[in-house]
C-alpha cells in the first residue's frame, strides 16, 4: 500500500471514531442502563433473543420456509390471495315495451344467484340507478313516461357478492296518442273444479291479448298466456280456489293498460257434475252438424265447444238447456270436433269425450224437401206431407212449439209423409224436414205449422 493511501485511511478512521463518540455521548444514561438491565449474560447491547442457529434479526420460520416468507396454505402460490367463486353475468337480457308506461324485462337464470339487481338510465352512457331487486328472471318496470327511451342492465346477486353488469338493453314506451283501448266487459266464470272461462270485448287494432292471473286481488299477477281470440279457458287449476284475472290488448306498438280485475272460484271437486256420456256428431248437410248426448243429473244446461282439429283450441259456441244441438253456418266439406260440459250453479263438469263429423260437399248436396204441409187431424194429431227428393233414402222431421224456438228431431222416416200424434189439444206446433242419404243431409225445408183441435 502506498504511503498516501495509508495516511488517507487513518484519517477516515479517526473521523469515524469522533462521530461515533459524539453520538454515544448524547444517549441518555437511563436508556443505556435500561437496555443493559434487559440483557441476558453474554448478549450484546440491543441484541434480541435468538434460537440456536438463528441469525441476528432472523424471525421464526417453519421448515422449508424462506426468509421473510409468510405462512401459506398448501397448493397456494407465494402472495396468492383466497378467491371466491364469481357469479356469471345474466345472459339474453331483453326489454319489450308494454305500453305508454311499462317496459317488460327478461333474462336467463344464473347458477347460484339468489336475486337480481335492476338498473335504469335514460341514456346509454348515463347514470344507472338501481330501481329494484327481484328473485325472478323477469321484471315489469311501470309508471314510466310515454314516448321515452329507457336503458337497463342487470346484476346477479348472492351472499358472496354480485356479478358484473349484463349487456345494456333499451326500449321506448309508446306514444299515449296511439295507445290501445283497455279490454272492456271482462268476465270470469268457473267451469269446473279445475277451469275458469274468461271473455271480454274486442279492442280495435289489437292483434292479441295478454292474460294475467293472481291468487289475491292485490297480489302479484303473472302472465299465463297470450291469445288472438276474445275468450280463454284457464285450466289445470286447484279446486275450491279463487283466482283473479286482468287482460291487456296488444299490437306492434305496445300494449293497453290493464282491464278491470275479475275473479271466480273453482268448484269443489267433491260436488262435481258427471261428464255428459254418449256424445255423437252427425253431419246434417254441407253447413250443419247435429250433436246429441245423455242427460246429466243435476245439470241445468250444457256448454258446447268446437275446434277444427282434435288437439286444437276449443271455442265455446253455445249453451243450451236440451241434450241436443245443431251447429249451423259451417263450411262445406270440413271436419269439426266437439266436446260438451254439464253446467249448474256449482260449476261445470269435466269435458265429455271428443267427437267429430265432416260436413258434406256442397256440390253433392241433396235438394231441400219442397211443398211441406201440416194439417191438424184431431186434438192430438197433425199430418205432415212433402215432395220426394231425388237420391234421398230417408227424412228427418223436426218440431218446435214456437216459430223461433229450438227444433228437436222427433223421428226418421223413409216415406214422404208422417202423422205426429200424442200432442196437446189447442196447441200450435211448428215443423221442418230434411232429406237424408249416405252422403249427408239437405238443408231444412221451409217452416210450416198447424194447431191441434180444441
Give the closest residue to 254 by CA, choosing from 210, 215, 194, 298: 210
CA distances in angstroms from 400 to 380, 430, 431, 432, 450, listed in the order given: 15, 5, 7, 9, 11
Give the closest residue to 293 by CA, choosing from 332, 255, 322: 322
Which residues, in sequence order, are CB contacts of 449 under 8 Å at separation 6+?
374, 403, 428, 429, 430, 431
Q: What angle do CA 366, 439, 410 make, to 5 degrees?
A: 75
Q: How does the average pLDDT of the chain come out, rounded?
A: 84
pLDDT confidence of residue 62: 55
* 8 A C-beta contact, residue 367 and residue 435: yes
**H/E run at residue 11:** helix 3-25
pLDDT confidence of residue 376: 96
pLDDT confidence of residue 72: 52
Q: What is the mean pLDDT of residues 42-62?
A: 54
Domain residue ranges of the chain, discontinuous segments joined by +: 94-177, 180-270, 274-363, 366-451
Q: How does residue 366 score in pLDDT terms, banded at 50, 70 and 90?
A: confident
Grid coordinates given for 333: 266439406
Grid coordinates given for 157: 346477486
* 8 A C-beta contact, residue 419 and residue 377: yes
Q: What is the mean pLDDT of residues 405-428?
A: 95
Domain 366-451, CATH 1.10.10.60 — does that match? no
Q: How does residue 28 score in pLDDT terms, banded at 50, 70 and 90?
A: very low
Using DSSP's 3-state secondary structure scheme, residue 23 falls into helix
CA distances in angstroms from 250 to 59, 178, 212, 221, listed in the order given: 76, 12, 13, 17
**Residues 296-312: tens digit of each pLDDT:** 999 999 999 999 999 98
Q: How many residues does the chain have?
A: 454
**Residues 217-273: tens digit of each pLDDT:** 999 999 999 999 999 999 989 989 999 999 999 988 788 889 999 999 988 777 778
**H/E run at residue 115:** strand 115-121
CATH superfamily of 274-363: Immunoglobulins (2.60.40.10)
Q: What residues pair up with 335 in beta bridges, in sequence order?
A: 358
Give the closest residue to 268 by CA, choosing from 239, 236, 298: 239
* 8 A C-beta contact, residue 376 and residue 453: yes
**H/E run at residue 255:** strand 254-255
Residue 118 has pLDDT above 90, yes or no: yes
CA distances in angstroms from 51 to 61, 118, 284, listed in the order given: 11, 60, 112
Q: How does residue 68 score in pLDDT terms, banded at 50, 70 and 90?
A: low
Cβ density class 66-104: b for 16+ within 10 Å, e for less: eeeeeeeeeeeeeeeeeeeeebebbeebebebbbbbbbb
Q: What angle do CA 409, 412, 413 make, to 5 degrees?
A: 145
Placement of cell 438463528 in the chain: 54
Q: Give the count of beta carbons closer than 10 Å to the beta carbon of residue 333.
A: 14
Q: What is the mean pLDDT of residues 420-444?
A: 92
Grid coordinates given for 349: 263438469
pLDDT confidence of residue 18: 45
Q: What residues pair up with 150 in beta bridges, in sequence order?
A: 171
CATH number of 94-177: 2.60.40.10, 3.90.78.10, 3.30.70.20, 3.40.1010.10? Answer: 2.60.40.10
* 8 A C-beta contact, residue 174 and residue 205: no
Which residues, in sequence order, are CB contacts of 1 under 8 Å at separation 6+?
none
Distance between CA atoms of residues 415 and 432, nearest Å: 15
CATH number assigned to the domain covering 180-270: 2.60.40.10
Q: What is the mean pLDDT of residues 21-44?
A: 47
Give the predicted TM-score (pTM) of the model.
0.41
Give the closest residue to 304 by CA, choosing from 264, 342, 266: 342
Q: What is the mean pLDDT of residues 69-77?
A: 50
CA atoms 145, 146, 150, 152: torsion sign: positive
Residue 70 has pLDDT above 80, yes or no: no
Q: How does residue 26 score in pLDDT terms, banded at 50, 70 and 90?
A: very low
**Phi, psi angles (nearest 5°) of residue 372:** -70, 130
Q: What is the mean pLDDT of residues 359-382?
A: 90
Q: What is the mean pLDDT of residues 439-451?
A: 90
* 8 A C-beta contact, residue 314 and residue 305: yes
Q: Give the CA-trace dihedral at 408, 306, 304, 310, to 10 degrees.
A: 110
Q: How does residue 39 score in pLDDT terms, banded at 50, 70 and 90?
A: low
Domains 94-177 and 180-270 share a fold: yes
Q: Give the CA-trace dihedral at 266, 272, 277, 282, to 10 degrees.
A: -20
**Residues 145-178: tens digit of each pLDDT:** 988 999 999 999 999 999 999 999 999 987 766 6
Residue 353 has pLDDT above 50, yes or no: yes
Amino acid at each position: 500500500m502506498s504511503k498516501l493511501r495509508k495516511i488517507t485511511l487513518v484519517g477516515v478512521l479517526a473521523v469515524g471514531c469522533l462521530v461515533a463518540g459524539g453520538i454515544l455521548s448524547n444517549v441518555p444514561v437511563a436508556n443505556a442502563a435500561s437496555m443493559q438491565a434487559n440483557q441476558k449474560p453474554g448478549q450484546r447491547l440491543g441484541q434480541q433473543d435468538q434460537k440456536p442457529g438463528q441469525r441476528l434479526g432472523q424471525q421464526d420460520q417453519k421448515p422449508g420456509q424462506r426468509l421473510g416468507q409468510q405462512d401459506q396454505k398448501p397448493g397456494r402460490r407465494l402472495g396468492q390471495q383466497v378467491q371466491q367463486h364469481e357469479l356469471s353475468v345474466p345472459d339474453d337480457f331483453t326489454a319489450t315495451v308494454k305500453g305508454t308506461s311499462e317496459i317488460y324485462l327478461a333474462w336467463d337464470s344464473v347458477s347460484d344467484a339468489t336475486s337480481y339487481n335492476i338498473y335504469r338510465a335514460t341514456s346509454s352512457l348515463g347514470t344507472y340507478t338501481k330501481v329494484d331487486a327481484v328473485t325472478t328472471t323477469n321484471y315489469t318496470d311501470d309508471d314510466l313516461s310515454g314516448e321515452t327511451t329507457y336503458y337497463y342492465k342487470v346484476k346477479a346477486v348472492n351472499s358472496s357478492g354480485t356479478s358484473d353488469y349484463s349487456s345494456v338493453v333499451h326500449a321506448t314506451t309508446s306514444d299515449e296518442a296511439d295507445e290501445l283501448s283497455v279490454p272492456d266487459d271482462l268476465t270470469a266464470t268457473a267451469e269446473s273444479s279445475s277451469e275458469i272461462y274468461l271473455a271480454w270485448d274486442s279492442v280495435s287494432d289489437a292483434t292479441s291479448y295478454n292474460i294475467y292471473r293472481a291468487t289475491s286481488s292485490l297480489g302479484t299477477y303473472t302472465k299465463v298466456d297470450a291469445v288472438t281470440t276474445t275468450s280463454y279457458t284457464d285450466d289445470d287449476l286447484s279446486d275450491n280456489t279463487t283466482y283473479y284475472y286482468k287482460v291487456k290488448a296488444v299490437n306492434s306498438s305496445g300494449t293497453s293498460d290493464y282491464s278491470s280485475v275479475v275473479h271466480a272460484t273453482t268448484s269443489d271437486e267433491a260436488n262435481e257434475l258427471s261428464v255428459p256420456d254418449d256424445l255423437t256428431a252427425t253431419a246434417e248437410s254441407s253447413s250443419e252438424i247435429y250433436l246429441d248426448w245423455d242427460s246429466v243429473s243435476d245439470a241445468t244446461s250444457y256448454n258446447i265447444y268446437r275446434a277444427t282439429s282434435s288437439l286444437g283450441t276449443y271455442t265455446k259456441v253455445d249453451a243450451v238447456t236440451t241434450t241436443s244441438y245443431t251447429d249451423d253456418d259451417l263450411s262445406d266439406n270440413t271436419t269439426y270436433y266437439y266436446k260438451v260440459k254439464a253446467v249448474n250453479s256449482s260449476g261445470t263438469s269435466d269435458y265429455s269425450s271428443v267427437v267429430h263429423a265432416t260436413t258434406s260437399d256442397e256440390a253433392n248436396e241433396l235438394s231441400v224437401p219442397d211443398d211441406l204441409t201440416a194439417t191438424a187431424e184431431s186434438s192430438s194429431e197433425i199430418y205432415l206431407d212433402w215432395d220426394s227428393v231425388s237420391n234421398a233414402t230417408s227424412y228427418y222431421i223436426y218440431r218446435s212449439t214456437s216459430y223461433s224456438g229450438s227444433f228437436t228431431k222427433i223421428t226418421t222416416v223413409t216415406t214422404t209423409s208422417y202423422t205426429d200424434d200424442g200432442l196437446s189439444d189447442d196447441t200450435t206446433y211448428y215443423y221442418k224436414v230434411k232429406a237424408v242419404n249416405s252422403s249427408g243431409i239437405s238443408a231444412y225445408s221451409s217452416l210450416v205449422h198447424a194447431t191441434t183441435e180444441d
